[in-house]
């Protein structure tokens, strides 16, 4: 009798396992995305520390140096000399993006405007490699030199400016800042199709700077993100480059800010880490892990997402991603004097909260700020 129950249970267990594994396999086919997210979340919450990464990505100083061996073709060493810089803003640009740089200089990256209207010193540089196509490279390079003669804000190193070289661009930023702008209170890295609400950002950073923040790293945080193993994805990660089922926490590369002590730590981390992992924001996460600094979420920093267009949002927003054509328009409406204080008073507050709830708290709101931004 006893044996029979055991046998029965055993069979049950086996068949359950069979059903389960069949389900797992099918499920994985049906929705790989959900499974890998579930797996990576649980991984993150069970492991909860990525100490092994430091060891796994450590290389000798000579080997680490080889990743930042590229000479400067265009450089400016005196950008930060002689003034108290609140923020050095490194815009990740590409040689051919002339128009985007012009739009930025005329809007949120206008140093004269920031100085006059906001009363602080913010420095903007555009960082890049060389154009990837050797047929047009010389011509584009000449145009770049001309552009730089007028504006003096380009910093270029001699590596190919491609998506898979973005980590080299990250090294460029932190190494350049370390040599030429180590005294800026904050360092920001941003894409050239980003919109930054500069008055809001400056206000926020001034407050933080008064509190003498340390270990400050803020942006749109990815927690427990899974490496993407589909070969057709832009973010494909080969197994031998990253073996684990989730990345350490990192901020979206679209735009993030660190305090100067963190910038110095990142610089030092890059001197001992293998920088061949080509997703730059993940590499930043690995640096953060090595330094023991973790990123903080700010609901009005966007990752992939674009802002919704409304004064109640403009009043709070920091960054918004994916702006190619409408940077000038958005700058105009978002910094309109009537926006400021729109949510002041009880009525204003009620009105704006209601508006933001209707705009942000939708079931499929994946491309903007999260619902909880409505209440902050
Ligand atoms: C930058 O702002 C200043 C002051 O507001 C303005 O005079 C200047 O035209 C702006 N620059 C550009 C390129 O728009
Ligand atoms: C990165 O830049 C280096 C130096 O120019 C180049 O040799 C390499 O092919 C580039 N890598 C990619 C993936 O574009
Ligand atoms: C750095 O990582 C790459 C990819 O994982 C690997 O091929 C390479 O050997 C590593 N370099 C060193 C010096 O360990
Ligand atoms: C990572 O390794 C470096 C040297 O290899 C060490 O200085 C640092 O303290 C390590 N970080 C952590 C969080 O263990």
Q: Which of these, 330, 352, 340, 371, lies nearest to 196 by C-alpha position?
A: 330
Range of the domain at 162: 61-297
CA–CA gap between residue 197 and residue 176 (Å, rounded): 25
Q: Check pocket membership of 165 for ligand 2, CB cut-off 6 A.
A: yes
Residues 288 and 329 grouped into a single domain = no
The 8-class DSSP code of residue 84 comes to -
286/219 same-domain check: yes
170 in a domain, yes or no? yes
Residue 86 in any domain: the answer is yes
Q: Are residues 251 and 205 in the same domain?
A: yes
Structure tokens at 96: 């051919």
Whether residues 69 and 210 share a domain: the answer is: yes
| Domain presence at residue 18 | no
Domain final residue pick, 256, 275, 297: 297
Q: What is the pLDDT along the chain (376 residues), one digit of tens a residue?
A: 455 556 656 666 666 655 556 555 555 554 566 777 777 777 777 766 788 888 899 999 999 999 999 999 999 999 999 889 999 999 999 999 999 999 999 999 999 999 999 999 999 999 999 999 999 999 999 999 999 999 999 999 999 999 999 999 999 999 999 999 999 999 999 999 999 999 999 999 999 999 989 999 999 999 989 999 999 999 999 999 999 989 999 999 999 999 999 999 999 999 999 999 999 999 999 999 999 999 999 999 998 888 889 999 999 999 999 998 899 999 999 999 988 888 888 999 999 999 999 999 887 766 789 888 989 8
Which of 98, 108, 113, 114 is the pocket-test mutation for ligand 1 (most atoms within 8 Å of CB)? 113
Ligand found nearest the CA of 51: 4
Nearest ligand, CA 328? 1
Question: Ligand 2 pocket, 167 CB below 6 A?
Answer: no
pLDDT in tens, 192-202: 999 999 999 99
Q: What is the pLDDT of residue 4?
A: 56
- Domain assignment of residue 11, yes or no: no
Q: How many domains does the chain have?
A: 2
The sign one gets for the Cα dihedral 168, 281, 46, 289 is positive
Q: Calculate how far, in angstroms, residue 98's C-alpha sits from the geometric centre of ligand 1.
A: 18
Contact 162, 132 (CB under 8 A): yes
From 238, 265, 297, give the residue that closes a domain.
297
Tokens of 97: 């993006």
Residue nearest to atom 12 of ligand 4 (CA): 290
Pocket lining for ligand 1, CB < 6 angstroms:
105-106, 110, 112-113, 116
- Residues 290, 195 within the same domain: yes
Ligand 3 mutation target, pool 274, 277, 283, most atoms within 8 A of CB? 274
Mutation to probe ligand 3, out of 58, 237, 276 (largest number of atoms < 8 A from CB): 276
Structural domain includes residue 118: yes
Q: Is residue 88 within 8 Å of 302, Cβ to Cβ?
A: no
In a domain, 31, yes or no: no
| Final residue belonging to a domain, choices 297, 330, 349 | 297
Domain check: are 327 and 198 in the same one? Answer: no
User: What global pTM score does this model have?
Assistant: 0.89
**Chain centroid, CA 47 distance in Å:** 24
Whether residue 166 is found in the same domain as residue 264: yes
Closest-lying ligand 1 atom to the alpha carbon of residue 117: 5
**Concatenated DSSP letters of 311-337:** HHHHTT--EEE--SS-HHHHHHHHT-T
CATH of the domain at 156: 3.90.550
pLDDT of res. 168: 97
According to DSSP H, which parts of the chain are helical? Answer: 2-30, 32-47, 51-57, 61-65, 98-106, 111-113, 137-151, 166-180, 198-210, 260-270, 280-291, 311-314, 327-334, 345-360
Ligand 4, atom 5: nearest CA belongs to which residue? 58
Query: Do residues 318 and 178 share a domain?
Result: no
* Token pair of 211 as six digits: 């509190």
Q: What three-state secondary structure class fits 255? A: strand
Distances (CA, A) of 117 to 130, 202, 211: 35, 11, 23
- Asked if residue 205 is part of any domain, the answer here is yes
Say whether both 236 and 361 belong to one domain: no
On whether both 274 and 162 belong to a single domain, the answer is: yes
Same domain, 327 and 275: no
Compute CA 84 distance to the chain's CA centroid, rounded to the nearest angstrom.
Answer: 25
Q: Which ligand is nearest to the CA of 54?
A: 4
- CA of 271, nearest ligand number: 4
Residues 288 and 369 in one domain: no
Query: Taking Cα atoms as reference points, which of 154, 188, 148 lies closest to residue 72?
Result: 154
CB of 159 sitting under 6 A from ligand 2: yes
CA distances from 295 to 75, 125, 239, 289, 291 (A): 30, 24, 25, 10, 12
Is 334 part of any domain?
A: yes
């Amino acid at each position: 009798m006893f044996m029979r129950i055991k046998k029965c249970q055993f069979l049950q267990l086996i068949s359950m396992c069979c059903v389960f594994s069949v389900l797992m396999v099918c499920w994985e086919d049906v929705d790989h995305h959900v499974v890998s997210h579930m797996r990576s979340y649980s991984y993150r919450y069970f492991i909860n520390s990525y100490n092994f990464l430091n060891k796994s990505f450590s290389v000798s100083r000579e080997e680490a140096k080889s990743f930042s061996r590229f000479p400067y073709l265009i450089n400016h060493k005196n950008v930060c000399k002689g003034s108290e810089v609140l923020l050095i803003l490194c815009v990740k640009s590409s040689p051919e993006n002339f128009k985007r740089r012009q739009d930025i200089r005329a809007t949120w990256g206008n140093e004269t405007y920031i100085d006059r209207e906001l009363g602080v010193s913010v420095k903007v540089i555009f960082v890049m490699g060389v154009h990837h196509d050797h047929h047009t490279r010389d011509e584009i390079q000449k145009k770049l030199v001309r552009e730089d003669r007028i504006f003096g804000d380009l910093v270029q190193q001699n590596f190919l400016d491609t998506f898979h070289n973005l980590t080299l661009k990250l090294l460029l930023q932190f190494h350049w800042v370390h040599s030429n702008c180590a005294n800026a209170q904050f360092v920001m890295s941003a894409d050239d199709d980003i919109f930054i609400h500069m008055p809001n950002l400056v206000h926020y950073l001034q407050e933080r700077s008064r509190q003498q923040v340390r270990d400050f790293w803020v942006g749109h945080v990815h927690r427990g993100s899974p490496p993407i193993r589909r070969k057709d994805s832009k973010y494909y990660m080969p197994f031998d480059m990253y073996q684990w089922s989730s990345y350490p926490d990192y901020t979206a590369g679209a735009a993030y800010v660190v305090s100067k002590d963190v910038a110095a730590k990142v610089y030092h981390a890059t001197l001992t880490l293998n920088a061949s992992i080509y997703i730059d924001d993940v590499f930043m996460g690995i640096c953060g892990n090595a330094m023991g600094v973790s990123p903080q979420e700010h609901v009005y920093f966007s990752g992939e997402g674009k802002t919704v267009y409304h004064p109640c949002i403009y009043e709070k927003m920091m960054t918004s991603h994916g702006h190619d054509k409408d940077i000038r328009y958005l700058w105009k409406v978002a910094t309109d004097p009537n926006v400021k204080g729109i949510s002041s008073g009880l009525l204003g507050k009620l009105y704006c909260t209601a508006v933001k709830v209707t705009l942000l708290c939708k079931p499929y709101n994946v491309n903007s700020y999260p619902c909880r931004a409505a209440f902050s």
